[in-house]
Amino acid sequence: MDSSQLIGITTFTYLFSTILYAAFFIFKSDRLGSIATIFTAAAFLIQTAGIGLRWLESYQLGIGRAPLTNMYESVVFFAWTIILIYLIIEWKFKTKIIGTFAVPFAFLAMAYASFAKGITKEIVPLIPALQSNWLIAHVVTCFIGYAAFAVAAGLGIMYLIKNTSETRQSTDNSSLLGTLPALQVLDDIIHKTMVFGFLWLSVGIITGAIWANSAWGTYWSWDPKETWSLITWFLYAITLHARYTRGWGGTRIAWLSIFGFISVIFTYYGVNFLLSGLHSYGSS
């Protein structure tokens, strides 16, 4: 069994987990929630093995590189970090219902990596610009930040659904939406997740600048991806600043978590395909 097969199994297992979490949300069955978490954790372990095996395969081919350097590998790693952060949040806050809104992001990422046309799954040698010791540090830190923002966006959607229901005075403990955490709890988790992601994104931008200097002789060249990374960073910086100085919370933070993640997606995916620049290799 090779890495592609393990990653394929992961895709369908995340799909099954997504269905289980949806069933848990609808039927309010603790048993279904526990089964969903078990399948999610199992898929995470299989994916971890797949990533590790792909790394080993690169050495067997005489290439020897981390599996993080093209669109296929980065999307797989993105899904892996989403699940990692979600499982930590579930363990810390003892709230399985968040999986209903977080795990689908990982499944969609894996489905794109597995089935989208034009994405190569072959292990190819690194281009000179990627042959740097800063590669792993930059990619890992950025994607931990991206994954945290994905989970925050899922939480933001939860908040808006819960808030709309309570505004209409249609939520009680026996209703479908009554199973969602309290608004104050969601607001707190959104904030903490965004802070976590912001810190990692900041480190990612710094390590990227150091990497750029070693590869191209300049820390910052206003490449499209660098520019959009900065835009995304400022969007979250302004959001967190407004929360600390003006007390922003609730629906404002929920909407900003969603808009922020849209900016993340464009920074990560849209720039590669719509704008040419030094990071265009990421589309291959």
Report if residue 127 sits inside a domain: no
- Residue 39 class from Cβ within 10 Å (0-12 exposed, 13-18 middle, 19+ buried)? buried
Report if residue 125 sits inside a domain: no
**Spatial distance between the Cα atoms of 105 and 45, rounded to a whole number of angstroms:** 17
pLDDT for the residue 173: 54
Report if residue 186 sits inside a domain: yes
Same domain assignment for residues 101 and 179: no
Report if residue 256 sits inside a domain: yes
Per-residue pLDDT of the chain in tens (284 residues, 90 and over written 9): 889 999 999 999 999 999 999 999 999 888 999 999 999 999 999 999 999 999 999 999 888 888 988 889 999 999 999 999 999 999 999 999 999 999 999 999 999 999 888 788 888 888 776 777 788 899 999 999 999 999 999 999 999 999 987 766 655 555 667 778 899 999 999 999 999 999 999 999 999 999 888 877 888 888 888 899 999 999 999 999 999 999 999 999 999 999 999 999 999 887 877 765 555 544 44
Residue 246: domain span: 132-284
Same domain assignment for residues 103 and 150: no
pLDDT for the residue 205: 95
Is the CB of residue 52 less than 8 Å from the CB of residue 86? no
Same domain assignment for residues 112 and 240: no
Same domain assignment for residues 106 and 174: no
Same domain assignment for residues 271 and 139: yes
Task: Specify the residue for token string 């597995």.
Answer: 114
Same domain assignment for residues 105 and 168: no
pLDDT for the residue 168: 65
Q: How far is CA 49 from CA 2, 56, 108, 191, in A?
A: 10, 10, 20, 32
Residue 100's contacts (CB-CB under 8 Å, 6 or more residues apart) are 21, 22, 24, 25
Same domain assignment for residues 195 and 95: no
Structural domain count of the chain: 2
In the chain, what are the helix, strand and coil shares in percent, each to the nearest 5?
80, 0, 20
Q: Which pTM value belongs to this model?
A: 0.92
Is the CB of residue 246 less than 8 Å from the CB of residue 190? no
